[in-house]
Amino acid sequence: MSNPENTKTQSFYITTPIYYVNARPHLGHAYSTIVCDAIARSKRAQGIATWFLTGTDEHGQKIERSAAQAGRSPAEFAAAISGEFRSLWQRLGLTNDDFIRTTEDRHKRGVQKLFTVLRDKGFIYKGSYTGQYCVSDELYVDAPPGSPCPDCGRPTETVSEENYFFKLSAFEGKLIEYYEAHPEFIQPEARRNEVMAFVRGGLKDLSVSRTSFTWGIPVPGDEKHVIYVWMDALANYITALGYGSDDPAEQKRFERFWPADIHLIGKEISRFHCVYWPAFLMAAGLPLPRSVVANGWLLFDKSKMSKSVGNIVRAETVVEVLGADALRYFLLREISFGHDGNFTFEALVQRYNGDLANGYGNLVSRVVAMMHRYFAGVVPPAIAPLEAGEPEQGICAAAETTITAFRAQFDAMDFSRSLETLWSLVATVDGYLTASAPWKKPTERSEDEHAQLQARVLATAAEAIRITTALAWPILPESTAKVWRQLGLGAIDQAAESGELKSLAWGGLKAGTQCNAPAALFPRAEKDAIERMQNLENQNNLTAVAAVSGAETTAPAAAAEAPAPTPAPTPAPTQVAEATPAPSLAVTQNPQIGIEDFAKVELRVAQILVAERVPKADKLLRLEVDLGYEKRQILAGIAQFYEPEKLIGRKVVIVANLAPRKLRGLESNGMVVAASVGDEGAPVLAGFLEDVPLGARLK
Ligand code: MSP
């Protein structure tokens, strides 16, 4: 099946993934959305009609369960979290043209149309299926009953259903053919290789409906089925444009902007976007997106920032302390796009002070202030024709090279390098200013000559700032708007729209332009900035646990009883908080106990947030676990049996009321429960097949 000829000219359509509403937005979500925003702005500045879409993915069992856990209806719960995404995007100055919610009628209509078209064309049929389902990934996995999900390690559930199936197996060859003919379709290369290997490994038909829950879009004509959440979600890219609508204006928009130029996604959802989605589109006879580009993960404390790991940082925290532009700049400059990158408050503040406060911000305020001091704020008529060898000619040449290099690197999505290029122009202009020292008149220089030098230097520096500012607008919309105004150029958003930022030939800042008063751009971040951000996060973690996990603001009943921290009696389960796992005990060795004795042991569900080896203790792991209502540190003697990285995110059972004790100088606050297996007493951690809320008590 070929990609029907694309007829659109000079239009550009970019999308973010639509975000699940089971968790509040964090920096990981903000990252993908900010990247799209910067690209969308840059296209608009080039005069290209652009459509930028984002939204929320609100159906499925995961959302249904999160809502139940929070004691709210799925619709209410989804609306609340979706609202948070929407208002955060506004706060970050994002210019999405639309925000789709999969619970909207326009979406439902489009998804049902897609399903019907595929069924009518014979690509969807009814069959029955029993398999292991991973609720977290919303995916059937190839694994025996009782085993964890091979992708995310969480427990799977055995699900047996009569389902509708999509004939994915029929698209194996067509997909490979397509990938080969369009090497730019999957980017970067590493993802393309992964996807191709997956498809070459063989494709089975895909179950595209569920009957085990109801929170979804009904299958047209067979309403006890809801449409598979990934088919529902992927379709947002066309339903938001108007696919399935009867309104001619919407149909026109669909024709104008589809196919998408870029679906920007996180790398973990490549398979859905590069295998299922193109297969659905081929089957429906619709054109395929031009590219699916995967960004790497934003890591915090060395693991993927995510709600389930519990290591999230909110964008609001950074915005509150350093501003939205600081966050945008940092994410694009610091992370090599396509790769994983670390987020730390230290690196953020360092970049902010180095590049923004002392770099660009300082250059602008020096130049604008001098323009006011020496020329009453009016750009002087100073740029005499440049001659070879004059320093001004060097600045002009540097600016022109920068324009070309920056654009090429930015368009190639090498954002970090493009900003490095642009900031080296800032450094060059800074050096030129310092070397020309327009604020200092040597005695041998006449007043006239000095005024001419001041005019030339300030006009040159201001022109270089104008160019830098125009190029930086997609990344720093708020601060470049201030600079544009200070240079007397009006509103930069309008300049972007009118095409003024497109042709950036040297000499665009005209003599006689009246500059506005200098205003602070990036006040230097003081030492306490990091601490302030950390405090904001800590405060938020407490309230977020209460609001989203369903725990009320008071601790759960059992915890509220505050039992005296009595040491547990001889533990029945193996105590793995110690360096050596105890050998397995024959049950008969223990005297019988009454229920009141058992009740003294407070067993609770906790999730491992951090797991690392303890230096010089080869059996010990240091764990940080989340009980939903509090976090704590536990030392467990399982290092010889479990890789710490594999434990992160895993739910375990802990003895929560064990008296604290010190091991290797570190306090252990509780004990992880495990079965003790074989002669060696190898620990096997206790877990659950169903999803269980944090803090739930075992009794
Ligand atoms: N709802 C699906 C996507 C459906 S698209 C048709 C989904 N949602 S999600 O909320 O779990 O994640 C969506 C996206 O958020 C990721 O693909 C990625 O773009 C972004 N990120 C979430 N956490 C992230 C990081 N820690 N780092 C980088 N991006 C991250 O999957």
686 Cα–ligand 1 center, Å: 29
- Residue to mutate, 15, 26, 29, ligand 1, most ligand atoms under 8 Å from C-beta: 29
Q: Is-contact 371 508, C-beta < 8 A?
A: no
3-class DSSP string for 42-74: HHHHCCCEEEEEEEEECCCHHHHHHHHHCCCCH
For residue 352, the tally of other CB atoms under 10 A from its CB is: 26
DSSP for 192-245? HHHHHHHHHT----EE-EESS--SSPEETTEEEEEE-HHHHHHTHHHHTTTTT-
pLDDT above 80: residue 592: no
Q: Which positions ≥6 away from 136 have C-beta within 8 Å?
A: 62, 149, 152, 154, 308, 691
Name the least confident of 389-398, 580-589, 600-609.
580-589
Supply the angle between the helices 27-45 and 315-322 in degrees, to the nearest 10.
60
pLDDT value at position 2? 38
pLDDT above 70: residue 576: no
Question: What is the mean pLDDT of the segment spanning 266-271?
Answer: 96
pLDDT value at position 689? 75
pLDDT above 70: residue 560: no
Can you tell me the distance from the alpha carbon of 595 to that of 386, in angstroms, rounded to the nearest whole number? 93
pLDDT value at position 14? 98
E strands, 135-172, in order: 139-141, 157-166
pLDDT above 70: residue 552: no
For residue 254, the tally of other CB atoms under 10 A from its CB is: 18
275 Cα–ligand 1 center, Å: 17
155: preceding bond cis by omega (within 30 degrees): no
Question: What is the mean pLDDT of the segment spanning 268-282?
Answer: 97
pLDDT in tens, 178-221: 999 999 999 999 999 999 999 999 999 999 999 989 999 999 99
pLDDT above 90: residue 545: no
pLDDT value at position 151? 82
pLDDT above 50: residue 549: no
Tokens 């993934």 locate to 17
pLDDT value at position 570? 27
pLDDT value at position 382? 63
Closest to 341 measured CA to CA, from 294, 293, 296? 296
Tokens 């950074």 locate to 318
Amino acid in position 291: S
623 Cα–ligand 1 center, Å: 26
Closest to 220 measured CA to CA, from 114, 139, 129? 114
The protein residue with its alpha carbon nearest to ligand 1, atom 19, reads 266
The protein residue with its alpha carbon nearest to ligand 1, atom 18, reads 266
∠ CA 664-665-670, nearest 5°, is 85
pLDDT in tens, 287-312: 999 999 999 999 998 889 988 788 88
Closest to 141 measured CA to CA, from 154, 127, 124? 154
Can you tell me the distance from the alpha carbon of 462 to that of 401, in angstroms, rounded to the nearest whole number? 17
Q: Is-contact 280 231, C-beta < 8 A?
A: yes
Domains of the chain: 12-295 (3.40.50.620), 347-498 (1.10.730.10), 547-685 (2.40.50.140)
Can you tell me the distance from the alpha carbon of 401 to that of 429, in angstroms, rounded to the nearest whole number? 14
pLDDT in tens, 470-514: 999 999 999 999 999 999 999 999 999 998 999 899 999 999 999
Q: How many residues are listed for the chain in this entry?
A: 699
Can you tell me the distance from the alpha carbon of 294 to that of 268, in angstroms, rounded to the nearest whole number? 8
Label residue 556 by pLDDT band (50, 70, 90): very low
Report the atom number in ligand 1 closest to the C-alpha of 298: 27
Label residue 565 by pLDDT band (50, 70, 90): very low
Closest to 609 measured CA to CA, from 349, 347, 404, 307? 307
Label residue 561 by pLDDT band (50, 70, 90): very low
Q: Is-contact 658 568, C-beta < 8 A?
A: yes
Label residue 256 by pLDDT band (50, 70, 90): very high
Q: Which helix (H) or strand (E) holds 485?
A: helix 477-486
Q: Ligand 1: which residues within 6 Å by Cβ? A: 17-20, 28-29, 31-32, 57, 233-234, 236, 265-266, 269, 295, 297-298, 304-306
Name the least confident of 50-64, 88-102, 324-338, 388-402.
388-402
- Residue to mutate, 16, 35, 39, 57, ligand 1, most ligand atoms under 8 Å from C-beta: 57
Provide the token pair at 617: 């203790």
Report the atom number in ligand 1 closest to the C-alpha of 236: 6
- Residue to mutate, 31, 59, 342, ligand 1, most ligand atoms under 8 Å from C-beta: 31
Q: Is-contact 621 639, C-beta < 8 A?
A: yes
Can you tell me the distance from the alpha carbon of 101 to that of 184, in angstroms, rounded to the nearest whole number? 29
217 Cα–ligand 1 center, Å: 21
Question: What is the mean pLDDT of the segment spanning 585-612?
Answer: 72
pLDDT value at position 548? 41
- Residue 569 backbone dihedrals phi, psi, to 5 degrees: -65, 175
Question: What is the mean pLDDT of the segment spanning 417-423?
Answer: 98
Which residues does residue 633 pair with via DSSP β-bridges, in sequence order? 624
Report the atom number in ligand 1 closest to the C-alpha of 300: 26
pLDDT above 60: residue 559: no
188: preceding bond cis by omega (within 30 degrees): yes
Q: Is-contact 190 293, C-beta < 8 A?
A: no
For the chain, the average pLDDT equals 88
pLDDT in tens, 607-653: 998 898 888 888 889 999 999 888 899 999 898 888 888 888 899 99
Question: Of residues 630 and 42, which shows the higher confidence score?
Answer: 42
pLDDT in tens, 429-468: 999 999 999 999 999 999 999 999 999 999 999 999 999 9
Question: Of residues 550 and 631, which shows the higher confidence score?
Answer: 631
pLDDT value at position 539? 83
Can you tell me the distance from the alpha carbon of 335 to that of 356, in angstroms, rounded to the nearest whole number? 17
pLDDT value at position 563? 29
Q: Is-contact 582 681, C-beta < 8 A?
A: yes
pLDDT above 80: residue 692: yes
Q: Give the CA radius of gyration of the chain.
A: 30
Closest to 321 measured CA to CA, from 523, 477, 478? 523
Closest to 697 measured CA to CA, from 604, 564, 619? 604
pLDDT above 80: residue 679: no
- Inter-CA distances, 486 with 254, 491, 514, Å: 40, 10, 9
pLDDT in tens, 367-415: 999 999 999 999 998 655 555 568 888 999 999 999 999 999 999 999 9
191 Cα–ligand 1 center, Å: 16
pLDDT value at position 10? 87
Q: What is the pTM of this model?
A: 0.77
